[in-house]
Structure 1
């Protein structure tokens, strides 16, 4: 990543091969003063073929999360979270070597040793606490091509603001028997909840914060949750042009092609007010 200074502004440009860029269909970004933006590249786990790009944008205690991923299980919900520690502990994404029971599947319990407990549940509505980690009815759903789009703004605590670089994004849901659905035949029962298939809770990808940019913040009029409703005011959508737009598009578009379908679905997850 190259940082170039233009006057008093910093523009961050992600340098990647042209072949890995995908059209994300994001609405025009806006510039928020005194904010910070962080990029996360999601890499596959469990040989899922899933990958994507995450943008975390902070303005004060408002955290905007944008996710574009592909290679997900078509038509199925994907539990997704910010994992890690806000107390200075070092966590990172796992790998196949963390499959301690040797069954060929990295389950969530095995992976949690590396990426830590849930800090924020990235639901589409209602609560975002760790207790909503398996609220699959409020998690985003992949389209028929296995594409998933997500955007939400939530109010977070000062501990998240101070330790945002120590958190990781993890999406869950694999298709072990390649039948385009979660079932018990693929990998048996989940160790987290025997009523759910292991395919539904095993991690499909993980990514760590790569860097930060001051002054290039994507914001939008997005439903908020997980905090005081009066404090969770949606951030108004603004417009921008020139270097700020190019910098954000380059950074948000750095997503490698998945081994599965690559048609970009034009829609995105809609958020609605709802209770946990």
Structure 2
């Protein structure tokens, strides 16, 4: 029991957002002082079994994107992007009914009608422009268990800051024939680039920031852009929620500190009543 609580202590001291991501909880979105943050819950597309949680944190023109997902194709890169609009158009995550040719695979082209074109490419290095959407050599790679961890801070244009709730995350990559890799035998060639299998570009999950549209189709063409040259980058290892004032984040930080205090008290031979008192604090 002590070892288990100690492990939890490490998570708590990492910050409230890390608690949500590490424990897979649907926690309120939190922000650093002076900023805003949003949680996105990623749910499967193409019956992929993929799911995850993402946090978008904004301070000034610095956007930090953190994603923890599972059910990805092991050992394969996952193209991932912020899709949507910064010009007032409404988009949503697609579903199986968008498979208009009824071939059993929801392609990116079919899904784009609902989730919009790429606004920012969530690469691990280099630029984050829409044109890097298929830069699979700069996209995160899932581990042997199909888990993917990503974190990066980039500089974004003001329209992204102003319309962040109109953007959403899509990750790509499916394994239709179950052979543990992307190949043309699974679903043919990609309609985006014939050099890539359809499995590599088909969407595997999607998640929207609370406040984005849940049904409107955009008027006019689908615009792209929004990502600019990359800013500071954090190491890559490798919510559905509304923005929360910084004061709330500080309050939860205090709660986490209280939990740390509780764990330390539990490691000592204090009576049960003392533990309860520490928890209340």
CA 1:246 to 1:68, structure 2 compared with 1: closer, same or farther past 3 Å?
farther
Question: Contact between 1:31 and 1:244, CA under 8 Å: does it hold in 2?
Answer: no
CA 1:228 to 1:95, structure 2 compared with 1: closer, same or farther past 3 Å?
closer
Pairwise mapping of residues 1-276 of structure 1 onto structure 2 (< 5 A)? Answer: 23=23, 32-210=32-210, 227=228, 232-233=231-232, 243-244=252-253
Q: CA deviation at 1:228?
A: 5.6
Q: Which runs of 5+ in 1 are unaligned?
A: 1-12, 15-19, 25-29, 212-225, 248-276
The 2-side partners of 1:228 and 1:107 are apart by 28
What residue number does 2:10 align with? none
The 2-side partners of 1:245 and 1:69 are apart by 28
1:67-106 superposed Cα distances (whole Å, 9 cap, x missing partner): 0000000000000000000000000000000000110100
Q: CA deviation at 1:34?
A: 1.4
Q: CA deviation at 1:227?
A: 4.2
Question: Contact between 2:118 and 2:133, CA under 8 Å: does it hold in 1?
Answer: yes
The 2-side partners of 1:245 and 1:178 are apart by 46
The 2-side partners of 1:245 and 1:133 are apart by 40
Question: Contact between 2:129 and 2:229, CA under 8 Å: does it hold in 1?
Answer: no
CA 1:242 to 1:106, structure 2 compared with 1: closer, same or farther past 3 Å?
same
Q: Highest relative contact order (Cα 8 Å, sep 6+), 1 or 2?
A: 1
The 2-side partners of 1:48 and 1:171 are apart by 11
Q: CA deviation at 1:109?
A: 0.1
Q: CA deviation at 1:242?
A: 6.8
Partner secondary structure for residue 131 of structure 2: helix
Bigger proportion of residues as strand: 1
Partner secondary structure for residue 189 of structure 1: coil
Tell me which structure has the larger Cα radius of gyration. 2
The CA RMSD measured in Å over matched residues stands at: 2.8
What residue number does 1:9 align with? none
CA 1:21 to 1:85, structure 2 compared with 1: closer, same or farther past 3 Å?
closer
Q: Which runs of 5+ in 2 are unaligned?
A: 1-15, 25-29, 212-226, 235-248, 257-281
Length-normalised TM-score, structure 2? 0.68
